[in-house]
Amino acid sequence: MTEQSDPIRTEVYREGMARMGAAITVLATDGPAGKHGMTASAVCSVTDTPPTLLICVNRASRTHDIIRDNGVVAVNVLAGRHQALSTAFAGREEDDRFRSGSWRTLVTGAPVLTDASVAFDCKITDHSPVGSHTVFFCEVQAMELAEGQAETLIWFGRDFHPLKAL
């Protein structure tokens, strides 16, 4: 095993993170600051009482301020069939990303992908800067689970991998 002394170099840390699989999501928001979305994998559960997720967004991202100012976000967990959608929301092109897929709203007004594996409609209850990112704490106001077999799209080893439940 390769040892790494302090401080950990950025490229070594990134290689380590490439070995940690993560679900691919589209974070989508709408409100006074406008409608926008981005692909993200830095999402995890915090607690189930009240149901709360955290998302991490780079402060240099245009989407960061829009999410912060709107105060709402939908965390749309993608399935294997959404790889092209993931790429569209990850790109630098700012044309209407929402032309891809079918979208609607639940409680907060944030865009929910109608065929997401699961969609969490959230209000942001707190946030904290950490390094280059902001950690947003997102209390789930509504959610939808896709019908049928559970599946997701993960990012692992710098590539997409669709997974289905057995």
Residue 8's pLDDT band (boundaries 50, 70, 90)?
A: confident
Look at residue 59 and tell me if it is in a domain.
Answer: yes
Look at residue 27 and tell me if it is in a domain.
Answer: yes
Nearest to 93 by CA among 115, 72, 66, 62: 62
> Given 3-state DSSP classes, what are the helix, strand and coil percentages for the chain, each rounded to the nearest 5?
20, 45, 35
pTM over 0.85: yes
CATH number at residue 96: 2.30.110.10
Look at residue 48 and tell me if it is in a domain.
Answer: yes
Q: Which amino acid makes up residue 23?
A: A
Domain that holds residue 119: 21-155
* pLDDT higher than threshold 70 for residue 3: no
Question: Tokens at residue 157, please?
Answer: 């080893």
Q: Give residue-wise pLDDT tens across range 60-106.
A: 999 999 999 999 999 999 999 999 999 999 987 666 789 989 999 99
pLDDT of residue 12: 87
- Percent of the residues in the chain that have a pLDDT greater than 70, as a whole number: 94
- SS3 (DSSP) at 65: helix
Residues 6+ apart with CB under 8 A from 163: 80, 151, 152, 153, 154
CB 129 within 8 A of CB 59: yes
Look at residue 34 and tell me if it is in a domain.
Answer: yes
Per DSSP, what are the bridge partners of residue 122? 73, 140
pLDDT mean over 136-147: 96
* pLDDT higher than threshold 90 for residue 149: no
The beta-strand segments (E) located in 22-70 are: 22-23, 25-29, 36-40, 43-48, 51-58
Domain tally for the chain?
A: 1
Look at residue 2 and tell me if it is in a domain.
Answer: no
Nearest to 91 by CA among 28, 37, 29, 135: 37
Q: Give residue-wise pLDDT tens across range 50-63.
A: 999 999 999 999 99
* pLDDT higher than threshold 60 for residue 109: yes
